[in-house]
Amino acid sequence: MTSEDKTAIQNIAVMTSGGDSPGMNAAIRAVVRTALYFGKKAFGIYHGYEGMIDGEISPMQSHDVSDIINRGGTILKTARSKRFLEAAYRKQAYEQLKAHHIDALVIIGGNGSFRGADVFSHEFDIPVVGIPGTIDNDLDGTDYTLGYDTALNNVIDAVDKIRDTASAFDRLFFVEVMGRDAGFIALRSGIATGADAILVPEVHTNYEQLKEYLHTTYRHTKSSAIVLVAEGDDGGGAVAMAKRIREDFPDFNPRVTILGHIQRGGAPTAFDRILGSEMGVAAVKALLQGQSGVMMGKQCREIVPVAFSIADKHTKRLSQALLSMIDVLNG
């Protein structure tokens, strides 16, 4: 009996829920192998809460998670479940878990997944620990979410390529990135790519200021320009902003590129592989120490438990220091 093993937990299941993010497979691998290391049985739940309801549950051995740490997406698949919002289906999910003798859960997902997990863990005698997997990095209680670093690097790679064409044609590009409610991807990737303007949901878009910048700076001192736009920007996104600029400056002939789901794909970076591994190991240890209703967060280089009630996507704030840099760097 190890010092970590302080509960009667014997069977630990892991699942991925909501949007996929690079690094999820690293976390799955870590959960399975950590459970086995401590003499427990590991299970995988396929297709998130939908699979839990329908009993898509299979035992997992060490070899089942071999050669997945470098893969994007999730080998367990994922889904968003409206059925899980209903008590009757949550009860059905619980009965499926009990039929497989599962007595603890690790859920890899975002804000919506954790809300469901919090309700579920209070309704039934199943301890639940979460791992924050979302490219948006919009969950409070953690400096970084799983997949954020890879998404940033995907955006940087794409924008660097777009800039080559922008420079060749002396052209203005509006590039739209993911971020319906949060501008973390847009802000950091915009700074990293030297974007001329960065539009995020958290800051009201001053169209007149953007227009003045393009008129005085882009027109007279630059051969090309990149405006990075989060999809949730209150100006209406890249297409709407480019249309307004085209109407006011017909000679600019701006182009629009919407990066879309390319941001979520591809092999995870070293950072996300290590983060997923750290969080997966910590999640199993937390369960074996009797914890539940918490997410594994990364704070000041340490993995710490954070209550689901704190891990909310609507409370995390953009760095004011980074926001203030935009005007300085684009002078």
Residues serving a catalytic function are 136
- Contact at 8 Å (CB) between 102 and 287? no
Regarding beta strands 255-258 and 225-230, do their DSSP bridges make them parallel or antiparallel, or are they unpaired?
unpaired
Count CB atoms within 10 A of the CB of residue 131. Answer: 32
- Concatenating the DSSP letter of every residue in 100-126 gives TT--EEEEEE-HHHHHHHHHHHHHSS-
Calpha distance 207→11 (Å, rounded): 56
Sign (positive/negative) of CA torsion 287, 134, 143, 27? positive
Which residues, including other chains, have CB under 8 Å from residue 203's CB and lie 6 or more apart?
A: 183, 318, 323
Calpha distance 96→253 (Å, rounded): 57
Which residues, including other chains, have CB under 8 Å from residue 246's CB and lie 6 or more apart?
A: 252, 253, 254
- Contact at 8 Å (CB) between 216 and 254? no
- Tell me the two tokens of residue 179: 């971020």
- Contact at 8 Å (CB) between 69 and 271? no
